[in-house]
A and B are shown apart, each in its own frame.
Chain A
Amino acid sequence: MLLLATWEAAFRTFQWRPFIFPAPSQVLDAMLNMLGISSGFGKPLHAGWPLVAREPLDSSPLLSRVLHSPLISADLVSAARLVVGFAISVMLGAGLGAVMWRWIAVDDFLGPVFLGLQTLPSVCWVPLAVLVFGLSETGILFVLIMGSAFGISLSMRDGLRTIPPLYHRAGLMMGARRWRLYRHVLLPAALPALASSLRQGFSFAWRSLMGAELILVAERRGLGFLLKTGQDYSDIAQVVAVMVVMVVIGILADRLVFAPIERRVHLRFGLAGAG
């Protein structure tokens, strides 16, 4: 907070040129603008600041203006892509992880490959996606999945490996055979591992998606595209504002969805500290 205030003060005192680096107030301005609200935070201080603002061009009700604003629609597009892509990625990754855990030969073959692919920055998949799928939704999903599925499968495999063999034997002794052993013993035993790989996988997926939207702009939608627009119009305030939104969404999803899932599983298993 102090940092932001200092920054703002310095900006106003020294009259930096806004196209080099924007002040917090201008970022706020840009953000509100993208939400369909005009404000005057970034304007020079004067009587009545910041209430005296440009009049909105259209006079539709505030709520509908906000809902149809570029930022919200971009968020919705990105969120939809994320949900679909991440779901596929989790199923694919967890399935592959289970296969690698079950059959050593598969792991010997795929393990090192996946490890290598996981270190590849996800935007490196973009050219391939463009060539194979064209500039399409599928291409974006492809990049998202490639960027997160390998990590998920590796951590799933490692998680499954930590299951005590004792559970396996106890399950067998109590008549859990074949798929029942998987469904009723091994899958629940893998829950802590699954929860952690979900949480980790999400951050990979989000990063990959943003990268893909930024470069694979054909669909002209999504948060990444908004960032790109900001670049194209040399609107630094908008660029920074979109980045802030990306970070905030990432943090919120982790705090509100994935961390609580992980915590609940840990509580159930008695893994959480003095909880």
Chain B
Amino acid sequence: MTLARTYQDLSRPGAGGTAPLSATAAAAPRSGRLVLSGIYKRFNSSPVAALHDVSLHCQPGEFVVVVGPSGCGKTTLLNIAAGIVHPDRGSAVLDDKPIRFPGPDRAMVFQDHALFPWLTAQQNVEFGLRMAGMGAAERRQRSMEALRMVHLGGSGKKLVHELSGGMRQRVALARALVMDPAVLLMDEPFAALDAQTRTLLHHQLQLLWCLTRKTVLFVTHSVGEAVRLADRVIVMHAHPGRIRKVIPVQLPHPRTFDSADINELARLVRREIEEEVNRVNAALAAEDSWRPKETADLGAPAGDLGSGI
């Protein structure tokens, strides 16, 4: 309740700017320390490891963004943190508890919202609470609060297909937040949205994160998105998946998204990714022996074709 109200005060235009926000931000969280160490994972169908000795240490309340070429193992890393995929070697630990199964201390926002089409928006948000055995009245109140946080207080009764793409993604975010997890795992959650909607959601996510101070592990292909949101940007190396470079973003939150600092950092990250992509492409070209074939010889000379007639 208080959280929702504070959020609404803060998000009102001209309501005090940045200073009060950092002041009201929740005290440094004690839970949400995510430690991935020496993770190695190879899928049976592939000769190369999807993840090769990846170690990542997320502080409580830290916003970590992972970028890298397609197929470098970002989703796999997130799934390991979620407990959906199990690493071959290495350990994943959250607040001193090993991660073995999916659990309510971690919530995931998927690229394709993954909302259940047979439920309304509010029922979707309530789903995790219902599975946890919470009573209907409290469930309704909590889910309403979560929906208001993403500015969808009026759309609770809508069915999933009646929501726009951006609204769906916000419901998915509310569905994750309502569980009050220690860690929020987000796999390209805004990739399918247009630039304006995405910027809007970046602002909302920043505000929500400033308020709740959850640990966030966020995967994206967008460099702009990475530097806007991250405390730390992890650039991945592909085939096998490794951490190539860690770029800290030491700018105060919430951020002005088009500041010179951010643009400078974005250039840096982009250069890093481009180098990696070029390296991957060069490696692929080298190992691939495929060439366009010579014009194929079509067998018997044309003169013979009619000879039997």
Q: Which residues of A contact B (CB under 8 A)?
A: 164, 166-167, 169-170, 172-176, 180, 184-185, 188-189, 191, 268-270
Tell me if A173 and B84 are in contact (CB < 8 A): yes
Residues of B within 8 A of A269 (CB): 117-118, 161
A96 to B291, CA, bound (A): 50
Which of the four size classes fits the interface of chain B? 20 to 34
Shortest distance from the beta carbon of A244 to any chain B beta carbon, whole Å: 39
Tell me if A188 and B118 are in contact (CB < 8 A): yes
The answer, yes or no, to whether B160 is at the interface (CB within 8 Å) is yes
Shortest distance from the beta carbon of B119 to any chain A beta carbon, whole Å: 8
Chain A residue nearest to B181 in the complex (CB): A173
The answer, yes or no, to whether B177 is at the interface (CB within 8 Å) is no
- Would you list the 8 A-B pairs with minimal beta carbon distance, nearest first? A270-B161, A174-B128, A170-B114, A175-B131, A188-B118, A172-B102, A269-B117, A166-B114
Residues of A within 8 A of B132 (CB): 175
CB contacts between A and B, total, < 8 Å: 59
Stretch from B5-13, B104-112, B146-154, B250-258 contacting the other chain: B104-112
Residues of B within 8 A of A189 (CB): 116, 118
Tell me if B116 and A169 are in contact (CB < 8 A): no
The answer, yes or no, to whether B217 is at the interface (CB within 8 Å) is no
Q: Mark B95-134, 1 if CB is under 8 A from A, else 0.
A: 0000000111011101010101111000000011011100
Q: Which residues of B contact A (CB under 8 A)?
A: 82, 84, 102-104, 106-108, 110, 112, 114, 116-119, 127-128, 130-132, 159-162, 175, 179
A188 to B126, CA, bound (A): 16
Shortest distance from the beta carbon of A194 to any chain B beta carbon, whole Å: 12
19 additional A-B pairs beyond A174-B131, A269-B117, beta carbons within 8 Å, are A164-B114, A167-B116, A170-B108, A170-B110, A170-B116, A173-B82, A174-B104, A174-B107, A174-B128, A174-B175, A175-B102, A175-B104, A184-B127, A184-B131, A185-B116, A188-B119, A189-B118, A269-B161, A270-B117
Shortest distance from the beta carbon of A2 to any chain B beta carbon, whole Å: 43
B131 contact from A164, A166, A169, A180, Cβ within 8 A:
A180
A189 to B117, CA, bound (A): 8
Binding site secondary structure of chain A = helix
Shortest distance from the beta carbon of B125 to any chain A beta carbon, whole Å: 10
Interface centre among B102, B103, B160 (most CB of A within 10 A): B102
Residues of B within 8 A of A184 (CB): 127, 130-131
Tell me if B128 and A169 are in contact (CB < 8 A): no
Interface centre among B108, B130, B131 (most CB of A within 10 A): B131
Shortest distance from the beta carbon of B7 to any chain A beta carbon, whole Å: 23
Tell me if B107 and A173 are in contact (CB < 8 A): yes
Tell me if B84 and A176 are in contact (CB < 8 A): no
B116 contact from A173, A175, A188, Cβ within 8 A:
A188
Residues of B within 8 A of A169 (CB): 84, 108, 110, 114
Shortest distance from the beta carbon of B274 to any chain A beta carbon, whole Å: 31
Tell me if B162 and A174 are in contact (CB < 8 A): no
Tell me if B110 and A166 are in contact (CB < 8 A): yes
Tell me if B128 and A175 are in contact (CB < 8 A): yes
Residues of A within 8 A of B119 (CB): 188
Residues of A within 8 A of B103 (CB): 175
Tell me if B127 and A268 are in contact (CB < 8 A): no
A-B contact pairs, 28 of them (CB 8 A): A164-B114, A166-B110, A166-B114, A167-B116, A169-B84, A172-B84, A173-B82, A173-B84, A174-B107, A174-B128, A174-B131, A174-B175, A175-B102, A175-B128, A176-B131, A180-B131, A184-B127, A184-B130, A184-B131, A185-B116, A188-B118, A188-B119, A191-B118, A268-B117, A269-B117, A270-B117, A270-B159, A270-B160
